[in-house]
């Protein structure tokens, strides 16, 4: 076992990789190296253990010496007999500030390198973990933020692993000093414009002065405790998903009755997780409470808008969007000839019902076999007083179907509707899909077009 009082980086790395994470000594690992003390210690420990490594270095181009640092990392890796690849970070990155932009940019570059089964080793340590928790507290983060950094998490198609989270910064530096190994000092680490630097330069010395010399270890331990609670929350949420969406595809529509049956804290937990899975920014507690109150016992159509989140409550159904649906399909007639094609705003493919065609990620199966043989289909929008025919031959007001499908009143005049010659409705993207009368050997797949769909379709038609 590792001695956690004075752990050696080699022992810690060996314990994590081969005992805890069951990695093979024959595996080749990516290793992120900035040339600073922490990643240099990780690189030396990996070399000492005889690991197979490919070094990755990100050139941020934010300092006049960036090119020289990249050259030094290449020389360092080469000295160990390891290949090194330099990844260039584009100048413009999205994010809240320079630290956030750099972090997001780095991980995006690393993720692009990862393939299934790949592991990237990164040298974040105990002090980094404690600093992360403090910064998350100052941002008012939820439990996922307060769990700080995970020892392992998915990155691209592979895994990002942090074997040194149990080691202190000073342990890694002393490890290098004892071996006469030098490292780079990035001036950004002393730049007070950066929040992490201010925590490092002011908060830790003050806590030590006030009598908490083990503050970083204690705070990092708290992050670990929160991570345990987060794992329990993960398991609970996964169980709820299996009950609500047994087919495994999480939808943007939720039963209000289900939510009302939960205790209010669990309602908030579920809503946060649900929004995150849908790719919607989780609102702050005030706005999240407004969303929760939308699911109160009273009935009726209610609309809620806030930055980055739109919600509609109709009866027992709650629907949410990050952006309001804006499906642009022109009014047009078309015939679904095999094997496929594209119209103005949509694509179609004939194929197996159990095998989604490549390039049609968000698609629907609307017909099977020869059901539509020789038919002309029509895209149009709702007209006042319009009626449609059900598969059993009954005629009903279109307004009733739109209500039952959960199409909000403010979208009913803009959603495209796909009709048959017999005035049946096959598909309302995002809201309604008619059950197929027959499957046959082949089914018709439809998708709303976007840039990637159009590109795929044009390549297929070429």
pLDDT in tens, 112-141: 999 999 999 999 999 999 999 999 999 888
Q: Are residues 315 and 357 in the same domain?
A: no
Q: Are the CB atoms for 377 and 422 separated by under 8 Å?
A: no
Q: Which of 270, 293, 321 is the last residue of a domain?
A: 321
Q: Which residue has the tokens 């679904």?
A: 336
User: Which of these, 362, 340, 373, 369, lies nearest to 427 by C-alpha position?
Assistant: 362
What total of structural domains would you count in the chain? 3
Q: Are residues 148 and 66 in the same domain?
A: yes
Domain that holds residue 37: 9-221
Q: Are residues 316 and 361 in the same domain?
A: no
Which pTM was predicted? 0.73
| Per-residue tokens: 313 | 């409550």
pLDDT tens for each residue of 275-324: 998 999 889 889 999 999 998 877 667 899 998 999 999 888 899 999 88
Whether residue 4 lies inside any domain: the answer is no
Of 259-263, 271-275, 375-379, 447-451, the range with the lowest mean pLDDT is: 447-451
Q: Are residues 302 and 425 in the same domain?
A: no
Q: Are residues 288 and 417 in the same domain?
A: no
pLDDT at 91: 64
Q: Are residues 143 and 89 in the same domain?
A: yes
pLDDT at 459: 41
In this model, does residue 439 exceed pLDDT 90? no
Alpha-carbon distance values, 387 to 89, 254, 379, 399, 431 (Å): 56, 28, 15, 8, 18
Q: Residue 451: which pLDDT band, with cuts at 50, 70 and 90? A: very low
pLDDT at 72: 94
Q: Are residues 254 and 163 in the same domain?
A: no
Residue scoring higher pLDDT (359 or 175): 175
What CATH number should be reported for the domain holding residue 277? 3.30.465.60
Q: Are residues 309 and 343 in the same domain?
A: no
In this model, does residue 368 exceed pLDDT 90? no
Whether residue 136 lies inside any domain: the answer is yes
Whether residue 229 lies inside any domain: the answer is no
User: Which of these, 321, 319, 320, 346, lies nearest to 332 by C-alpha position?
Assistant: 346
Q: Are residues 38 and 158 in the same domain?
A: yes
Angle at 152 (CA atoms; ends 84, 106), nearest 5 degrees: 45
Whether residue 245 lies inside any domain: the answer is no
Separation of alpha carbons 405 and 418, rounded Å: 14
């Amino acid at each position: 076992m590792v001695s956690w009082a004075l752990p050696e980086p080699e022992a810690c790395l060996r314990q994590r990789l081969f005992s805890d994470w069951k990695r093979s000594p024959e595996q080749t690992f990516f290793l992120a190296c900035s040339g600073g003390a922490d990643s240099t210690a990780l690189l030396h420990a990996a070399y000492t253990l005889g690991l197979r490594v490919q070094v990755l270095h990100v050139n941020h181009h934010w300092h006049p010496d960036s090119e020289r640092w990249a050259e030094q990392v290449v020389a360092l890796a080469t000295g160990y007999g390891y290949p090194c690849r330099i990844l260039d970070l584009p100048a413009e990155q999205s994010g809240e500030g320079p630290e956030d932009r750099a972090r997001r940019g780095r991980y995006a570059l690393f993720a692009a390198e990862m393939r299934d089964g790949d592991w990237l080793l990164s040298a974040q340590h105990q002090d980094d973990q404690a600093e992360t928790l403090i910064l998350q507290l100052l941002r008012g983060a939820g439990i996922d933020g307060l769990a700080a950094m995970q020892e392992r998490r998915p990155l691209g198609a592979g895994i990002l692993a942090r074997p040194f989270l149990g080691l202190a910064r000073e342990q890694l530096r002393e490890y290098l000093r004892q071996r006469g190994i030098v490292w780079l000092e990035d001036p950004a680490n002393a730049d007070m414009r950066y929040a992490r630097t201010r925590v490092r330069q002011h908060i830790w010395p003050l806590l030590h002065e006030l009598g908490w010399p083990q503050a970083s270890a204690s705070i990092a331990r708290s992050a670990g405790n929160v991570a345990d609670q987060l794992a329990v929350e993960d398991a609970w949420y996964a169980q709820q998903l299996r009950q609500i969406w047994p087919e495994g595809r999480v939808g943007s529509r939720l039963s209000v009755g289900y939510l009302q049956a939960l205790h209010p804290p669990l309602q908030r937990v579920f809503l946060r997780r649900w929004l995150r899975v849908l790719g919607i920014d989780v609102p702050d507690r005030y706005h999240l409470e407004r969303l929760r109150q939308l699911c109160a016992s009273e009935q009726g159509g209610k609309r809620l808008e806030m930055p980055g989140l739109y919600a509609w409550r109709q009866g027992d159904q709650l629907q949410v969007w990050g952006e309001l649906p804006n499906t642009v399909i022109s009014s047009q007639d078309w015939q679904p000839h095999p094997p496929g094609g594209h119209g103005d705003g949509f694509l179609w493919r004939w194929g197996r019902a159990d095998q989604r065609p490549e390039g049609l990620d968000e698609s629907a199966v609307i017909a099977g076999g020869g059901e539509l043989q020789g038919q002309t289909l029509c895209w149009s929008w709702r007209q006042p007083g319009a009626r449609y025919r059900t598969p059993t031959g009954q005629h009903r007001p279109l307004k009733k179907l739109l209500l039952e499908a959960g199409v909000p009143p403010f979208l009913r005049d803009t959603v495209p509707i796909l009709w048959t010659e017999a005035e049946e409705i096959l598909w309302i993207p995002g809201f309604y899909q008619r059950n197929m009368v027959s499957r046959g050997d082949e089914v018709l797949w439809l998708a709303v077009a976007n840039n990637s769909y159009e590109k795929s379709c044009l390549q297929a038609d070429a």
